[in-house]
């Protein structure tokens, strides 16, 4: 599914176009005639695009990608279009969609129809007691920002995602320890000891500990790999692994302390 970050990027992108161009584009896909006043264009686009259903959003995005030449011709100076299009393209890739030959290509079929884990994770973290939740959310956002930067820093993307996972696991371990009379000693700064502690106190199973260790190892290697997968897709994959593991740890812990 298309996440909130990509929808906001689409708002910024369509904000470059004349309101009538955007209005006709939306009406083409059965979006009711909406008011797009030039002086409040971004606010109006935000209201419309963030409320669109997934199917309509994909249709609009597909046309934007397919007709980027026409849309670019309407904008001067051209760098404004190029910068916004580059940002939209990278946001789409974070959601698992590659812009290729003027089409949107799903890079991971397993995510089709799935709710964007990043949106759900940040919402859950916002309501969580974790002492470092602001730092965790900041790291998740930094991970996306370095991915979308010009030029992108794919290794930094993975580093930020890994630190978010480390920090969340450590905060959960602290909370789990506070609920035990005599918790086992462990070093909060060492990933292996943190997840081993989580297993010992019943937060995760041995298989889940191995999975967390594997994801951490994947992230630690970085985006530079001598394989056929491009760096941007490798970085997106690693980031996705990290956020999914964050989501698992958080939801698992919340269920346990109900």
Of the listed ranges 65-69, 103-107, 141-145, the least confidently predicted one is: 103-107
- Concatenating the DSSP letter of every residue in 32-88 gives PP----GGGHHHHHHHHHTTS-HHHHHHHHHHHHHTHHHHHHT-SSHHHHHHHHHHH
Query: Looking at residue 226, what is its pLDDT?
Result: 54
Query: Looking at residue 224, what is its pLDDT?
Result: 63
Q: Is the pLDDT of residue 229 over 60?
A: yes
Pairwise CA distance, residues 100 & 41, whole Å: 29
Query: Looking at residue 114, what is its pLDDT?
Result: 60
Q: Is the pLDDT of residue 250 over 60?
A: yes
Q: Is the pLDDT of residue 145 over 80?
A: yes
Split at pLDDT 50, 70, 90, the class of 183 is confident
Express as a percent the part of the chain with pLDDT over 90.
Answer: 81
Query: Looking at residue 211, what is its pLDDT?
Result: 96
Query: Looking at residue 222, what is its pLDDT?
Result: 75
180-185 mean pLDDT: 88
Q: pLDDT by residue (tens digit) across 77-121? A: 999 999 999 999 999 999 999 999 999 999 876 565 566 789 999
Query: Looking at residue 179, what is its pLDDT?
Result: 87
35-39 mean pLDDT: 94
Q: pLDDT by residue (tens digit) across 1-31? A: 899 999 999 999 999 999 999 999 999 999 9
- The full set of domain ranges for the chain reads 4-111, 117-256
Pairwise CA distance, residues 30 & 110, whole Å: 28
Q: Are 129 and 17 in contact (CB under 8 A)?
A: no
Give me the half-sphere count of Cα atoms (radius 13 Å) on the Cβ side of residue 33: 1
- Encoding tokens for residue 191? 């990933």
Query: Looking at residue 49, what is its pLDDT?
Result: 97
Query: Looking at residue 136, what is its pLDDT?
Result: 97
């Amino acid at each position: 599914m298309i996440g909130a970050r990509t929808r906001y990027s689409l708002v910024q992108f369509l904000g470059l176009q004349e309101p009538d161009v955007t209005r006709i584009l939306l009406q083409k896909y059965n979006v009711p005639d909406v008011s797009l006043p030039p002086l409040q264009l971004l606010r109006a686009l935000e209201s419309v695009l963030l409320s669109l259903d997934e199917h309509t959003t994909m249709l609009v995005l597909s046309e934007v990608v397919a007709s980027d030449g026409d849309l670019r011709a309407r904008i001067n100076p051209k760098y404004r279009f190029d910068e916004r299009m580059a940002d939209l393209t990278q946001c789409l890739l974070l959601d698992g969609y590659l812009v290729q030959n003027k089409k949107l290509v799903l890079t991971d079929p397993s995510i089709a129809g799935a709710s964007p884990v990043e949106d759900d994770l940040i919402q859950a973290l916002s309501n969580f007691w974790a002492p470092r939740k602001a730092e965790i959310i900041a790291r998740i956002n930094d991970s996306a920002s370095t991915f979308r930067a010009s030029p992108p820093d794919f290794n930094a993307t993975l580093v930020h995602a890994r630190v978010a996972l480390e920090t969340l696991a450590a905060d959960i371990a602290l909370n789990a320890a506070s609920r035990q009379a005599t918790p086992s000693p462990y070093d909060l700064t060492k990933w292996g000891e943190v997840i081993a502690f989580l297993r010992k106190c019943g937060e995760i199973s041995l298989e889940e500990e191995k999975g967390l260790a594997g994801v951490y190892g994947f992230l630690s290697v970085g985006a530079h790999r001598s394989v056929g997968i491009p760096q941007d897709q490798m970085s997106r994959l690693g980031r996705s692994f990290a956020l999914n593991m964050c989501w698992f740890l958080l939801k698992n812990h919340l269920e346990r302390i109900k």
